[in-house]
Amino acid sequence: MYKLFRRFLFLLPAEASHDLALFSLSMANKIGLLNLIKTKNINTPATVMGIEFPNKVGLAAGLDKNGKHIHALSKFGFGFVEIGTVTPLAQPGNPKPRLFRIPKARAIINRMGFNNHGIDNLIQNVNLAKDAGFDGVLGINIGKNLDTSVDDAVNDYLIGLRQAYFYADYITVNISSPNTPGLRSLQYGEELDSLLSMIKAEQMSLSLEFKKYVPIAIKVAPDLSDDEVKGVAESLLANNMDALIATNTTLDKKVVEDLTHGDEPGGLSGEPVRDMSTRVIAEFHKYLKDQIPIIGVGGIASAADAKAKLDAGAALVQVYSGLIYEGPGLVKQILKVIN
């Protein structure tokens, strides 16, 4: 069924088909069609970051940037849904076209640039999803506005943290999008240490104010050398972070450069990032061991791909590009095999 729908969707420009798919999904949910999907019986719960997840497979950030489709997406059987990246203020993102499929490599290049309606709108959507009956685990992924300089980025993260704190089960600090100039520089050395220590201090004060502890995950790029992984891991440990999300998209596009759209600027996801991200997870796991859990993401398009991430040390996994190519049945397919 999805294969037929995909054939139609792939005739449209990538972003138009993406919007249409999400719109159709919400409509299908409204008329009760998604209730026909049965995944509850194959859930295997896992406790990570102190949260009980119904299962280990989540939706990665970026598909539902404004949190408008949380309830519908959760019906695919995800153990958790991560929305965003959201910035303090609404912003349009980069000019279109900015999303490209590369079917021959089962890959996607995007340079969306954090297009979103701002955090106030996202919170309204979270409330609507909860009113509509969503009671699953929700991650809110926060970033900085394009107009905020990298030197002032921490202010945007602190705004995001404060606004999202009450509504999120966990919050992801995204410092690895390749489409916001300079953002990835926050992954290194003193800049990272200072960012994480300020985030930790704010988390502690919010936990007293709201009388609830909301864990914070840091999302990194797959383009880190072994030395850089070690540096990030030391900083995460020193600042008592709650989780790592590895990884975002890659800037290494050698394997697709000869394919249509393979030379588009932006981050590459899907199959080409799969092994890079698994390597980074394994490398991080050497340092983080059981102290800081890892959420593994990058190129998962089968149960075997998910299992490889878990075997490399991930406690949970997320999918994005694999859903575009394999369809929503991918979640169930993975859940049948992993435990």
Contact residues: ligand FMN, CB under 6 A: 60-62, 65, 85, 99, 108, 110, 112, 141, 174, 177, 219, 248-249, 269-270, 273, 297-300, 319-322
Taking the complex as a whole, how short is the minimal distance between the CB of residue 35 and ligand FMN, in angstroms? 26
Instruction: Indicate which residue of 17, 74, 176, 177 is catalytic.
Output: 177
Surface-to-core class of residue 20, CB atoms within 10 Å of its CB (0-12 exposed, 13-18 middle, 19+ buried): middle
Nearer to ligand FMN, 101 or 285 (CB): 101
Taking the complex as a whole, how short is the minimal distance between the CB of residue 111 and ligand FMN, in angstroms? 9
Q: For this structure, is 177 an active site residue?
A: yes
Long-range contacts of 283-291 (CB under 8 A, 24+ apart): 283/226, 283/229, 284/229, 284/232, 284/233, 284/244, 284/246, 284/313, 285/312, 285/313, 285/314, 287/229, 287/230, 287/233, 287/234, 287/237, 288/233, 288/236, 288/237, 288/244, 288/313, 291/237
Q: Evaluate the CA torsion angle 124, 182, 257, 263 in order and state its sign.
A: positive
Taking the complex as a whole, how short is the minimal distance between the CB of residue 21 and ligand FMN, in angstroms? 12
Taking the complex as a whole, how short is the minimal distance between the CB of residue 324 and ligand FMN, in angstroms? 8
Structure tokens at 245: 């999300």
Nearer to ligand FMN, 33 or 329 (CB): 329
Nearer to ligand FMN, 209 or 263 (CB): 263
Nearer to ligand FMN, 99 or 331 (CB): 99
Nearer to ligand FMN, 85 or 239 (CB): 85
Q: Which residue's beta carbon is nearest to the bound ligand FMN?
A: 62
Taking the complex as a whole, how short is the minimal distance between the CB of residue 251 and ligand FMN, in angstroms? 12
Phi, psi of 272 (to 5 degrees): -65, -20
Catalytic residues: 177
